[in-house]
Structure 1
Amino acid sequence: MAHIFVTFGLICLGALTGWGASLFGLPLPYLIGPLVICALIATALPHHLPEGYAFSHRLRQVFIGVIGLMIGAQVTPELFASAPEFAVTFTALALFIGVCLVYNFWVFRILGGYDRVTAFYSSSPGGLYESLALGEAAGGNVARLTLQQFLRVIIVVTALPIGLSLWLGEPVGSAGGVTLARDDVPWTDLPFIVMAGAAGYFGGKLMRFPAAQLTGPMAAAAILSVTGIFHVDIPIWLVNIAQIVVGCALGMRFTGLSRGLILRGAGLSLLSVGGMLALAMVFAVGVVQFVEEPLDVLLISFAPGGVTEMSLVALSLQANPAFVTLHHIFRILMTVVWLMASAPWVRRNF
């Protein structure tokens, strides 16, 4: 019972922090705000938590599914008019992933001094949960893996929108008040939203989708949208709650990490993310002449950050967020393929 009260208290505190972050115009405030405050609690005040406390895994999965539905609903028939361009951008993206893995391995192994397994799985430019699971199975340092993967996402979804806002002279993404959700969704749609999410989750589990709690509902919403059966519109209040819960869950994963380790990991992540964003720009410049999308949209499509925030940034640029979303889904899937294909070799040689 104590664990339930603690979880509820963390969610309330996360909601308050998210609201405060939104007042300052920070990117993805209802995710980053709760994540930061819960990470501070997990690292600075772990002795005040009940013994053996862990944030509810099932609750987190439910609300990750909500975000999956919101993203999947952006896949429309109009998107596939750009299908010929995908051959170029997907090929470049697959090569980008390989280059990032090599570069990041050098950062974490040579500069960071991590053991080879931990360095390899920390190098993943996507597939957060899959890289953690594979890295743990291979004998990597789970605490460091968790730290580096979460910092990668946090830094990208914070730095890129801010950088683009400075470049364009106006806020973009959620910092500019843009959202993929709607505030006029009728309450009568909620049962259909729940059924779509449940069908996607269990269908994804049955078909062994990577990160099925996200990709399953995403696929279900995309199928419903493309076929015209039902367009899944997520109310903005539900999306905000989902981000608060997921942010709190991610923040509590920092339990047990020292401040010194976090600061060191942050320095390595800044170097890693900085290099990947530079590589993303190089690849975007390389393919821009072959596609109809502008350079800034291609940069967002290659950036190794969160699917939701990158889609919001694209929307604020008046670009189809589904184009960006599909490339991030492909990036995550290809990263998982790279990691799974490399796992036997890593175990034998590392």
Structure 2
Amino acid sequence: MTRAERRSLGDRAPAVQWVALLILSVVFVVVLETLRLPAALLLGPMLAGLVLALAGGTVRAPAAPFAFAQAVLGCMIARSIPLSTLHEILHDWPLLLISVFAVIGASYGLGWLLARWGVLPGATAVWGSSPGGASAMIVMADAYGADARLVAVMQYMRVVIVASGASLVARMVAGDHVAGAKAVAWMAEPAWTPLVQTLALAIGSALLGAKLRFPSASMIAPLVLGVVLQDTGLIVIELPPILLAVSYALIGWSIGLRFTRPILIHAARALPRIIASIVVLIAACGGLAAMLVVMAGVDPLTAYLATSPGGADSVAIIAASSDVDLPFVMAMQTARLIAVLLTGPIIAKFIADRVQANERIL
């Protein structure tokens, strides 16, 4: 597309650009779902936003709906932390604590190396390497000033590699007994009272986040409140697929629409080293899984899935359809997500400051 054509697209009415964005998003989601790639509902809109931005589009994801989408993401994470998972964390806390921080330490170490070698900026390298939920890491990275576009490239590259590897390992161990993801009931009627409760929590959290002006408050508030309210029986978190799809789309658009040609060129140049760091991290987690098998008597597939670095939703699907200790797997994944959310901002700032200090000395 020529420079003149890109300008003409940017000059078109916002309504025309939004229609083009919606059509592109649907096309990308369908293609990614057909290929059975994880997180298609977020990656599709992100790719659509990227294409529109490179073609000269000027629309941006509106702030208030984006804050609501963050709150819905927080509710989704809270829903995945039921009381049974918390009990499992408390029951096996010494083993979980050691395993969780071993994976986090390896991830942050690789992030520090990527920053030290100048592959990526310090905070971006840390958030991109963080082994939490990819969507949550992107939102947190954006809130704390890292480049969410490069973080998205790193996170979803790892999600694809980890999910593919976990699927392959599970299929090798369990044969053909590993089922795929369940079909989504898009038109199913939701439970209306829980849905109203969930929407109130999400909207209230988004408003609270705007008032507090605290980074990622729109996601952290519903996560914390949702876990407490859900596990005390005060509310039931209900998230219809269409609500999640819209929220994912808003988050994906907010990232994709900010891409530029220089960012894509930088990501392409860094990609071989990013992939190498992912492979090293997977190997390190495989070594930790072997230690769990030998020292704690955990069965091999449970240990491998529990220590897989990121892609918790994909790992949950694989674990649920395999003969493994599902509570242990989800307890490990959940504990690691919570630990990353708590330590990520501090570690990212620490590494970024150290890298900048070394650059000044040199």
- Interval of TM-score (by shorter of Structure 1 and Structure 2): 0.7 to 0.9
- In structure 2, the residue matched to 1:35 is 46
- In structure 2, the residue matched to 1:13 is 24
Contact 1:288 1:298 in 2 (8 A): yes
- In structure 2, the residue matched to 1:78 is 84
Contact 2:79 2:226 in 1 (8 A): yes
Q: TM-score, normalised to structure 1's length?
A: 0.78
Unmatched 5+ residue regions in structure 2? 1-11, 131-136
Structure 1: distance between partners of 2:184 and 2:346 = 31
Aligned residues, how many? 332
Structure 1: distance between partners of 2:165 and 2:300 = 14
**Is 2:255 the partner of 1:250?**
yes
- In structure 2, the residue matched to 1:60 is 66
- In structure 1, the residue matched to 2:164 is 162
- In structure 2, the residue matched to 1:139 is none
Give, in angstroms, the shift of residue 233 of structure 1. Answer: 2.0
Within 5 A, what are the aligned runs for 1:193-212? 193-202=198-207, 211-212=216-217
Larger mean CA deviation between 322-331 and 265-274 belongs to 322-331
Match of 1:122 among 118, 121, 125: 125
Structure 1 residues 78 and 205, CA, compared in 2 at 3 Å: closer, same or farther? Answer: farther
Query: Matched residues, percent identical?
Result: 17
Structure 1: distance between partners of 2:100 and 2:43 = 27
Contact 1:130 1:210 in 2 (8 A): yes
- In structure 2, the residue matched to 1:330 is 339
Match of 1:96 among 95, 103, 122: 103
Within 5 A, what are the aligned runs for 1:217-232? 217-232=222-237
Q: TM-score, normalised to structure 2's length?
A: 0.76
Matched AA of 2:285:
A
Within 5 A, what are the aligned runs for 1:131-150? 131=141, 145-150=147-152
Contact 1:156 1:303 in 2 (8 A): no
Matched AA of 1:333:
L
Report SS of the residue matched to 1:176.
coil
Report SS of the residue matched to 2:92.
helix
Bigger Rg over Cα: 2
Report SS of the residue matched to 2:343.
helix
Give, in angstroms, the shift of residue 179 of structure 1. Answer: 7.0
Give, in angstroms, the shift of residue 228 of structure 1. Answer: 0.8
Contact 2:170 2:318 in 1 (8 A): no
Contact 2:149 2:256 in 1 (8 A): no
Structure 2: distance between partners of 1:165 and 1:232 = 29
- In structure 2, the residue matched to 1:23 is 34
Structure 1: distance between partners of 2:350 and 2:236 = 36
Give, in angstroms, the shift of residue 227 of structure 1. Answer: 0.2
Structure 1 residues 3 and 154, CA, compared in 2 at 3 Å: closer, same or farther? Answer: same
Unmatched 5+ residue regions in structure 1? 137-141
Structure 2: distance between partners of 1:213 and 1:189 = 20
